[in-house]
Amino acid sequence: MNPLVLWFHKLGSPPTFYRLAGRLLPWCYGLALVLGAVALYGGLVLAPSDYQQGDAFRIIFIHVPCAWMSLFVYAFMAVNGFIALVWRIKLSETLAMAAAPVGAAFTFVCLVTGSLWGKPMWGTWWTWDARLTSELVLLFLYLGVIGLHQAIEDRRQAARAAAFLALVGIVNLPIVHFSVTWWNTLHQGSTVRLFGPSLIDARMLWPLLTMALATKFWFAGSLLSRARVDLLELEGGKDWVRQVALAADAAPAPPPEASA
Amino acid sequence: MSDFFAMGGYGAYVWASYAVFFVVLAAEAVLPPLKRRRVLAGLRGKWKRAQRREGSAP
Amino acid sequence: MSYGSTAGACRALLARDLRLVWRRRGDALNPALFAIMVVALFPFALGPEPQVLQRIAAGTVLVALLLAGLLSLDALFRSDLEDGSLEQLVLSPHPLALLLACKIAVHWLTTALPLLVCAPLLGELLNLPPALRPVLLASLGLSTPLLSLIGAVCVALTVGMRRSGMLLALLVLPLYVPVLIFAAGACNAAQNGLAFTAPLLWLGAGLALSLVLAPLACAAALKISLT
């Protein structure tokens, strides 16, 4: 068998993933911190003041990356949910469910920082325009997925039901993204474009993109950390978990009971 | 320096936003390892109880 | 072993569900009573001034019917789950999506139709302008089946859970919001003298899509929940 394919299949095994995730974790967080520091320096110190919004625009370096992450994590959750429903891969179930709280956190930060940015700029903490409403709906979808996952006893069935719900809600993703073009919104339109020039000064763009990358690595770190814990819980009775638990215990471990 | 904190008069909003960001992301990093420790301790306790039960039952 | 045709199965299921609801027809009117009570609370809360009530009338009726529909969703699968016929339905050789579409249709007929009949009365309680009544009924006629269909998918995910009321509301409300936005949009446009057909057409499109997709999604969700 092709070694790459073999490695990919091995990755689906919980103990292998647990070990790999443990090794990747510090790198993810480390990269996130370094990139974040660079982005913050660029955004808070180097970038010039906006001619319209003054220094309040600097919230963009937090608000926009969190908004992007809220959508990205939902897509990640939905893709893994699809894999979990179709191919019943345990690891996909775990990754999908581990991503949900992180995505909800990013959505929450996006909404709160947006509100804090809206008060001085628009004069209001909240408005029911298409972008804000659909982002709030996204938060409720995340909370629904988390709630459903916690409500079902059988962990694997819970993950599949919650994954199904996540897939039902995927229709909200294009709504959030295109809300500023499809409707008349108070929220400004897209300025950062994937194809073609962006409508934002380069000195503001690079800290924004760097911070977006930093939040991606932070998400990866948080995801791997949560996935590891979820795997420990899911596989509680298995031998590899026992070895991990005994190794993690500081006191000398008692000899395992001889099987009767 | 005080200009930096004042942020052109918008200091409260800007720094409140950054504070929310840092607190939430820090929580995301700190809570899973704490849960991991709890889960492992719980599992160890469960095994000790199972061992004791097997040891005492004939 | 021979079994009847799919059409025969659907007919039998429709007849059975209608008969079961008829035996407890008092209970079937509970959502309508709930909607009336909710609507009646608003004049007490906001004061009986006709102009104020007139502005919120259409939206309040929509929300009251939405909440009443939410309460009645649990009854869709509850009794079938408890006596085991839901599992029989899932195991049957007939297409599950079609059987579920029949169940959802009966559910809409027995819970939403009484509400639709009540809607003019509820509008009167809130001083709804008479010109608005046909628009309100049209938007209700399009949105209540949508709510039944979307609600059925979410109920299928939580079937068998005790005390699933709050969780069901949490699951269903994000999906209900777009329906409510378009229904209320039509009513508000009509109230302001603007063109109101566009939101109604959007609702119609959503309904057409859901009529096909929701029973399929509901079947998939039931299979997940009942394994």
Q: What is the DSSP string of C59-80?
A: HHHHHHHHHHHHHHHGGGTHHH
Confidence of residue A250 (pLDDT cuts 50, 70, 90): low
pLDDT above 80: residue A111:
yes
- Which of A137, A151, A161 has its CB closest to that of C174? A137
With contact defined as beta carbons under 8 Å apart, do A141 and A96 qualify? Answer: no
CA of residue A55 relative to chain centroid, distance? 28
Are A172 and C174 within 8 A, CB to CB? yes
Does residue A55 have a pLDDT over 90?
Answer: no
Domain ranges, residue B40: 25-58
In 3D space, the residue among C45, C80, C77, C48 whose CA is nearest the CA of residue C64 turns out to be C45
Question: Given a cut of 50, is residue A259 above it in pLDDT?
Answer: no
**A54 phi and psi, to 5 degrees?**
65, -140
- Which of A235, B18, A141 is closest to C173 using CA atoms? A141
Domain presence at residue B32:
yes
Domain spanning A13-233: CATH 1.20.120:
yes
ipTM of the assembly? Answer: 0.88
Q: With respect to residue B15, please indicate whether it lies within any of the assigned structural domains.
A: no
Which residue from A168, A196, A169, A191 is spatially nearest to A180, judged by alpha carbons? A191
Confidence check: pLDDT of C195 > 80: yes
Which chain A residues contact residue B20 at CB under 8 A?
109, 112-113, 116
Among candidate residues B22, B20, B41, the one with its CA nearest the CA of residue B30: B22
Half-sphere exposure of A259 (CA within 13 A, CB side): 1
Tokens 């809360």 identify what position? Answer: C45
Run of H or E including C58:
helix C50-73
Largest Cα–Cα separation, chain B: 78
Residue with the larger pLDDT of the pair A21 and A184: A21
The residue ranking higher by pLDDT, A101 or C51, is: A101
A residues 188-217 lying closer than 8 A (beta carbon) to B: none
Mean of the per-residue pLDDT values of chain A: 89
| DSSP code for C94 | S
Mean pLDDT of chain C: 92
Question: Domain total for chain B?
Answer: 1
User: Which one of A70, A148, A150 makes the best mutation probe of the C interface by having the most chain C beta carbons within 10 Å?
Assistant: A148
- Contact: chain A with chain C (3+ CB pairs below 8 Å): yes
- Given the structure tokens 């897209």, which residue do they identify? A190
Whether B56 maps to a domain, the answer reads: yes
pTM for the whole structure: 0.89
Task: Please indicate if any CB of chain C lies within 8 Å of the CB of A137.
Answer: yes
